[in-house]
Structure 1
């Protein structure tokens, strides 16, 4: 069955308009930290307007249809790209691509004055290809997950179609050819534009949703004040490390740390100052830990540090480094210094769960407090 390019263009306009409206509506439900949704919402709408203008060929003067449609389609392509730049926290290069688009439109105007449809197709597809490939490079570099792969794959396929259309113009078209010529090449080109607009809109919506899920997961596993793992998250990680010890017999140690005299800090300086003491203490502790170690807030001013693949001697050395770093740390002006007491425990034959280590570390911590604090037991 021979498809009508004009009908495909009209359907593309309707689909893109609906997708743009959906994106514009759902962006209100996303947190402000998810950036780029407005350009992404406007992009399919610009593509819809471009398709609508193209479909009016024969009703409006050809130069008006050609340049208005080309400008809107370039704007839609650029808006998809600018939305991704904002989403990934990159500088938005709208001036650069705006200049390229204006230069391209100026060249296209010349080939309207001296008509040559083939050269117009070559210039336009070349400009679009450059923008699409820049967008694909950004997503491949900064994106991750299924949505990013969907967007990158769609962009690369779109670039391949654009290149093929630009080259084919010199074989299948003539200087006076029409945009809606009933050729297989032109029909495939317009149809691919329809599907790419659809897939890009779906892809950016999925990518924004994945980012929201990541932020919720981060909130669920990170203590809002200190950035350390929450009690639940660190105990879950500890359970996984304990299972690894039982299965592979890799050593596992655990530190239980308590900030000394923290109640006095709150009573004398206020809870806001106490919060800053905890935040600074966590920052100091992190500097003394390995990438594989896990630091979690156990409750109040008490913290748990998991030390995978670490035996008793190495664990005690790590605890001493943390204690000395806290004692030597010079806090910001107005923040009182702090020290910490630490209890060290490690896996032993007969341990049935992580609770056994926590109980021994807790007993060691109370011995450290009883012996004067600011020490490791």
Structure 2
């Protein structure tokens, strides 16, 4: 039954690996590891049909090989340097163990002890990686607990095997300790892949959330992500009585850049300006691309004076020569709107900052304008005109 469930988990992991080949590391190695464990189970089932002197070394080495690939997969998942030396050392030492205590000096308890310690080295290394690099989340704790449980069982089995007769003298009648080990190992064949898929699913969830909230070209927030950040900051501002400010930024003559240099260069300009804007902000601020060449910045706990200072800093950075910069020069027009009232919503702030931006465009571009109070603003249809900023 464990083998059948391992086949099912291998299919699930293989499907996930095909769907997210580069997003989640280690899935391919875990699939290969499960295939190794499945193959080892098939080989063990052939006991009696194939001579033991040939079957046991191959089956046990394949089993160690599969467990080692799972360890490698976990390391790749967490971005840790792979311990290939431990992987190869484990299954090669498995062959040495067989050569000594199966052929030269037949001793089943010693063979059990040595194989248990080799498996322990692989599973405990996996446990250490999860503890050190894993996210502080229930999924990682569950995965770590399973690895630790298997490690403790292997340690117990190895120590008991070193005692006289503690592990029994054959694979099928090894006493209660041996039976407990076989039961735990059978369950872990299923539970460890489940633990890994739990942390992998958590990673995929965060990845999908990030993709839904980020602009794929510039990696800054998109409109949806910006709205979520504003909602959080607005609640904090209401509780603490701190001000908010919004900046609307638009590239000047961006259409001319695309026409003259091509859209590929235009995309590079968008990535560059996103980086320049981000470098001028604090960690509590947020920048988003609303489409085309329009960017929006949320400045938390910011009065008008600081908002203007940030805008000036951005324009100053754009005017400075940057070594190795092969992009065409460009400028930004910026409109600033400070929250008039804690009850003012995001749409109102964006409308006023857009109007200030439009005024900056009308007055010559490459400049900063601050929005007046909402009641003093003319009810001009700004948003359609904003599409003609270039």
The alignment's TM-score, normalised by the length of structure 2, stands at: 0.85
1:135 counterpart (123, 126, 129): 126
- Gaps in structure 1 of 5+ consecutive residues: 1-10
Alignment-derived partner of residue 313 in structure 1: 305
Moved more, 119-128 or 258-267: 258-267
Alignment-derived partner of residue 253 in structure 1: 245
Alignment-derived partner of residue 339 in structure 1: 331
Query: 2 CA distance for matches of 1:79 and 1:173?
Result: 32
Query: 1 CA distance for matches of 2:15 and 2:226?
Result: 38
Asked if residue 94 in structure 1 is aligned to residue 84 in structure 2, the reply is yes
Asked if residue 85 in structure 1 is aligned to residue 78 in structure 2, the reply is no
Asked if residue 37 in structure 1 is aligned to residue 27 in structure 2, the reply is yes
Query: 2 CA distance for matches of 1:192 and 1:215?
Result: 34
| 1:236-315 aligned within 5 A | 236-315=228-307
Deviations 1:212-253 (A, max 9, x none): 333322221111121111122112322332232223312212
Asked if residue 121 in structure 1 is aligned to residue 112 in structure 2, the reply is yes
Say if 1:71 and 1:105, in contact at 8 Å, map to a contact too.
yes
Query: 2 CA distance for matches of 1:114 and 1:350?
Result: 83
1:51 counterpart (24, 27, 41): 41
Query: 1 CA distance for matches of 2:88 and 2:280?
Result: 49
Q: How has the CA–CA distance of structure 1 residues 118 and 267 changed in structure 2, closer, same or farther, with 3 Å as cutoff? A: same
Asked if residue 215 in structure 1 is aligned to residue 207 in structure 2, the reply is yes
Deviations 1:77-97 (A, max 9, x none): 111112223333444333442
Query: 2 CA distance for matches of 1:267 and 1:176?
Result: 81
- Gaps in structure 2 of 5+ consecutive residues: 370-390
Alignment-derived partner of residue 56 in structure 2: 66
3-state SS of 1:225 partner:
coil
Moved more, 143-152 or 212-221: 143-152
Query: 1 CA distance for matches of 2:108 and 2:298?
Result: 68
3-state SS of 1:372 partner:
coil
3-state SS of 1:291 partner:
coil
* Deviation for aligned residue 1:59: 4.3
| 1:18-33 aligned within 5 A | 18-33=8-23
Aligned length: 367
Say if 1:117 and 1:174, in contact at 8 Å, map to a contact too.
no
Moved more, 278-287 or 173-182: 173-182
Q: How has the CA–CA distance of structure 1 residues 367 and 82 changed in structure 2, closer, same or farther, with 3 Å as cutoff? A: same
Query: 2 CA distance for matches of 1:175 and 1:332?
Result: 68
Alignment-derived partner of residue 178 in structure 2: 186
Deviations 1:229-279 (A, max 9, x none): 112211232233223222331221221111122222223223222221111
Say if 2:280 and 2:314, in contact at 8 Å, map to a contact too.
yes
Q: How has the CA–CA distance of structure 1 residues 121 and 288 changed in structure 2, closer, same or farther, with 3 Å as cutoff? A: same
The alignment's TM-score, normalised by the length of structure 1, stands at: 0.88
Query: 2 CA distance for matches of 1:198 and 1:172?
Result: 32
